[in-house]
A and B are shown apart, each in its own frame.
Chain A
């Protein structure tokens, strides 16, 4: 399984765009990149998933360069309610999701 590396924590202010970068140097051809969000004492929630280039939904954008060795989750105009832990995961068919420590995002007023 490809291991992921992401910052332990990040701070931001309301209204700013937040970009969280994840490294996955040994990602395999069949691997997808997925991001989850977790609030305290709740289960993680699926945010976005992609394979290459750019994926956008109503919550976030995911940027994946051509070599796919990293990816960036972009949260536009964050609010206080976006304070959470964000997990970057790489997996393919047949593998279970393996969660690392995630990135703790703190949004300040």
Chain B
């Protein structure tokens, strides 16, 4: 079955450490996205990529980095520069950035301890 997979589901990190969240899709989607969700809030866009080897900052990119070396993969690194990294992180993909439905992964819950 086609889908989008995020791993791990839960992640704990010590302050000052970088951590990378994985996102893989086998839907042959061109575009991929990372969102952050805080408790009781909506989703905020961190980064997005419309094509391999290209990506753009979203609304809250500071303290995060991404890469898009393969069409299927869009990993997100939460760096030590991110002041408040504890959150629920969601990856999504779509055929394009137009009027196409987004497919979301099941999310990674990151906790800084």
Question: Which A residues fall within an 8 A CB radius of B?
Answer: 32, 34, 36, 41-46, 49, 87, 91-102
**Complex Cα gap A45–B90 (Å):** 12
The one of B33, B41, B90 in contact with A96, judged by C-beta atoms closer than 8 angstroms, is: B33
Question: Which B residues fall within an 8 A CB radius of A?
Answer: 33, 35, 40-45, 48, 58, 88, 90-92, 96-99, 101-107, 109
- Closest A residue to B101 by beta carbon equals A46
User: If A96-B58, A99-B43 touch, does A41 touch B102 (CB 8 Å cutoff)?
Assistant: no
Residue among B91, B102, B103, B105 facing the most chain A CB atoms (10 A cut-off): B102
Q: Do the beta carbons of A96 and B101 come within 8 Å of each other?
A: no
Q: Do the beta carbons of B42 and A43 come within 8 Å of each other?
A: no
**Complex Cα gap A96–B88 (Å):** 19
Q: Do the beta carbons of A41 and B107 come within 8 Å of each other?
A: yes
Q: Do the beta carbons of A44 and B43 come within 8 Å of each other?
A: yes
Give 4 closest A-B pairs by Cβ, nearest first: A43-B104, A93-B98, A46-B101, A99-B42
The one of A46, A94, A101 in contact with B102, judged by C-beta atoms closer than 8 angstroms, is: A46
